[in-house]
Amino acid sequence: FPVTIIIPIKKLFTSIKSFNWDIYYKETKEKLKDLTRTNYNLALFHLNSGNTSDAIMRFKITSYIDKQKLYPDIEYYLGLCYYITFKYDDSKEHLTNYIEKGLSEKTEEAKFLLSAIENKIDETKTIPSSLGAIYYEQMAKQYGMSLEMHEKEALNSFIAQISSHKNIQKSSSIQKILELGCKTGGVGRALKENGITSIIEAIEPSNILIEEAKASKFQEEPVYSSLKCCDIHEYTSNKTARKKFDIIISHDALNLTPSLLPLFKELETILSSTGFIALSLRITDKKNWTFNNLPCRFLFNKDYIANKIKEAGLKISSQSEILFQNGDKGIAVIITK
């Protein structure tokens, strides 16, 4: 039988009056903070893992419950998520709102995405490294240390082009190697496996990828003698700590700007007199270069690449075509002074 509990009105009001509402409010506020933080962190996790629809849902929940505005960059991340899912009208609305609020942390990224949506990319634009890294970070979440196996054919073709260069046979003269954009360490490990025992220093813009690269080993020894997490273009233009390298390598990483000439000029200054540069780049049949919305990167015309190499005072020693996993055509180029 159902039981009915009757609370006297006087006792009920006494209980309500004696209830400590200040403590309740403070506790609820702290719980909401935790709930906000949990949803925000889950949203970032889903974004980095490539689960963009789940990221959108979590960012929206966070936005709704974030009454104290603890996470002002939610508008930016929603704009980014909608950009990734090709919902450009929604993306533009959130990115514009973020920029208008005058929040500086992600303004560079937001403005770049807007220029891409509005088709206003020109040769002065540079993709913020955080945007360029998103694709590879998502891939790293999925493939981990075997990320390079996802592009095995392109990697093998690139290593073959390096191995066939005549200067590589004089391994005793190769003391220092610089790799720009090492990702999870596939190129460095492949060089070691091919008998290149030189010291390899590496630059990688992504925090997630560089942690994978740190774990990269060959015969129980770390592949890289040093790893720096920084923007490639900032590193090459830094004149305070200039070193000379016998080989400068970059596999599918110099794609954040269409303006290749300044980069090639900087590489020329840190290349030893007998050294060489080995690059792989994705190519396009369009004039000069084109921008790929997702993943964010530039593709280059072969003649444009050749002209910029020449203008930088360098020359092409050899080149061959390579094919990337998604069907993009590319070239592997060996460049000397």
Do the beta carbons of residue 47 and residue 79 sit within 8 Å?
no
Of the two residues 95 and 50, the one the predictor is more confident about is 95
- Given this model, what pLDDT does residue 30 score? 59
> What local confidence, expressed as pLDDT, does residue 77 receive?
96
pLDDT recorded at residue 172: 62
Residue 315's pLDDT is 96
Over residues 58-67, the mean pLDDT reads 91
Higher pLDDT, 179 or 221: 179
Q: Highest mean pLDDT range out of 164-168, 254-258, 325-329?
A: 254-258
For the cut 70, the answer to whether the pLDDT of residue 250 exceeds it is yes
- pLDDT of 282 reads 96
What is the reported pLDDT for 109?
94
Sorting pLDDT into bands at 50, 70 and 90, what band is 336?
very high
First-to-last C-alpha distance (Å) of the chain: 95
The pLDDT, as a whole number, for residue 98 is: 95
pLDDT at position 281 over 80: yes
Residue 209 pLDDT: 85
| pLDDT for res 26 | 62
Residue 63 banded pLDDT, cuts 50, 70, 90: very high
